[in-house]
Chain A
């Protein structure tokens, strides 16, 4: 199993919907902002970047960002970024937090003290300074949006209906299983010796949620199953048609018929992220020396033929805010603060969510996520390793 697939497995926990909240200024905030602001680099003077086959030098990329419009604070808000950020943890807690379904708390897998029990804890947004609250001692992987839990168990994955207590084993060889949004179907893929990602022919299987009617529905080299589309029938799969070329094809696979429809292709295509409503995809193409202009972050519709995939001018890390808006953080080493940029996928237009000089955050280890309702962004700070939450402009 490759690190890439395992990363996806680990981060497959936090998706859902909920309501928004508001923020007040924390007591240590002004000091923190001042500290961060002192680290910002000067205003760039280079010309704006254009689509290029080479990685953008930092100064040019920063200049490109500098040309983007900055989103304005809504009427009635504090009018400045300082009012939109809140520190949620104070003792270095925790890596890989995910959002509660109602967007009102962050969940972490933690053991706050030696005497505490390991489990899932909630860091509530309200009231400010609330202590971590135990949510569940179960640490099974949760396929959110359904009443079903999935946990690996040796050569199997166990699907459990938490309402009835019924359990069904799926012969997944310990690999992650994907469940349809309606909780009716399961899809998994055979590891083919444990290294399907790099050198094995991976076969995809589908069954009912209770394991009935298991069947092979497709096979690709180095296959990865991204997840179900909202229709509960099609899954997105990524893999190589040929063993000896790292050309990955992203396809839509019909779990009924096994028919496969290509959506995108690229060398080392990876980091595929489906928008919450299933309308758009974001993915990264890398290490293509023959077509260097192909490298970067791409956005494409999931409806074949609707629009061609388009590449962002600046590469980096990305998450979907809602079904049509992608937030990305450009990789600009040495630039100081990390910028938050929002892309309207349909218009393919970008804007800065904040002026980085006004809200100079730095994210540790690409550890950030957006609330299910799209109103806030949580990140682990590179400066103190604590969790912070930023309210996003609408």
Chain B
């Protein structure tokens, strides 16, 4: 493909592209990590992380728990955890991770008892699951990053068993799942400093280095083949 001649275009058409190019260059020069695109989203909680507020409970992707539940809970997303679980007390205010428009309230997507989707008009839809109540927003409503959009809950609706927010990032077709860690601007390695052991990833003994980090996980597709039905899993056992 040949490069377009910008000089041949009228300024009103060139301006957005020039501004975009300038922003990209500025970002490259002044950004926190040269060469890395800025992450477009923020965290879904306003409170700082900690044992009283929230912490990472299950990573996206190739978690050991997902491997155990690959044919049950997670079979629709290639056997892997399609979101990021953040443990939080029931009733913790959930914030929009970016500007956008409410796409659904208690729509499809599971993560009962209540869920919410926001279309960010940038190629991503955020999904908030296991909410305590029906989200106090309306479909079509515009929200800004940081706005209160829901309250976290528990997957069993009890607030006793496993209170957490299940957070997903999908494409606009809702058929692809992305690792939120790669798209949310946060100090993830510091946020992982919790407790007596790291969160565990399942191993494929044929490729034991693959998908072993919070930020190194595969993109998932709704209804795709299982990615973690390993011939030689480690740890093994169970179902």
Taking Cβ atoms with an 8 Å cutoff, the residues of A that contact B are: 1-3, 6-11, 53-58, 92-96, 109-111, 118, 139, 141, 151-154, 157, 173-175, 194, 198-199, 244-246, 268, 270-273, 282-289, 292, 295-297, 315-319, 329-335, 338, 362-367, 382, 385
Report the Cα distance A53→B52, complex, angstroms.
Answer: 8
Residue numbers in A under 8 Å from B89 (CB-CB): 287, 289
State how many residues of chain B have any CB contact under 8 Å with chain A. Answer: 55
> In the complex, how many angstroms separate the beta carbon of A139 from the nearest chain B beta carbon?
6
**Does B206 sit within 8 A of A, measured CB to CB?**
yes
**Are A93 and B237 CB-contacts (below 8 A) given A10-B200, A287-B89, A365-B192?**
no
B47 nearest CB neighbor, chain A only: A55
Taking Cβ atoms with an 8 Å cutoff, the residues of B that contact A are: 47-53, 55, 57-58, 63-65, 68, 85, 87-89, 156, 158, 160-163, 186-187, 189-201, 203, 205-209, 212-214, 232, 234-239
Is A198 a contact of B161 with CB atoms below 8 Å? Answer: yes
B55 nearest CB neighbor, chain A only: A286
Residue numbers in B under 8 Å from A244 (CB-CB): 158, 160
Residue numbers in B under 8 Å from A287 (CB-CB): 51-52, 87-89, 163
Report the Cα distance A23→B218, complex, angstroms.
Answer: 38
B199 nearest CB neighbor, chain A only: A7
Is B199 a contact of A3 with CB atoms below 8 Å? Answer: yes
Complex A-B, nearest 10 residue pairs according to Cβ-Cβ distance, in ascending order: A152-B237, A271-B195, A55-B50, A95-B212, A286-B51, A174-B238, A295-B52, A333-B187, A10-B200, A273-B196
> In the complex, how many angstroms separate the beta carbon of A40 from the nearest chain B beta carbon?
13
Is A154 a contact of B237 with CB atoms below 8 Å? Answer: yes
A293 nearest CB neighbor, chain B only: B52
**Are A152 and B187 CB-contacts (below 8 A) given A7-B198, A331-B194?**
no
Report the Cα distance A244→B49, complex, angstroms.
Answer: 26
> In the complex, how many angstroms separate the beta carbon of B147 from the nearest chain A beta carbon?
22
Is B235 a contact of A285 with CB atoms below 8 Å? Answer: no
Is B203 a contact of A109 with CB atoms below 8 Å? Answer: yes
Residue numbers in A under 8 Å from B212 (CB-CB): 94-96
Residue numbers in B under 8 Å from A109 (CB-CB): 203, 205, 208, 234
Report the Cα distance A194→B195, complex, angstroms.
Answer: 24
Partner of B187, one of A285, A334, A366: A334
A318 nearest CB neighbor, chain B only: B196
Report the Cα distance A295→B237, complex, angstroms.
Answer: 34
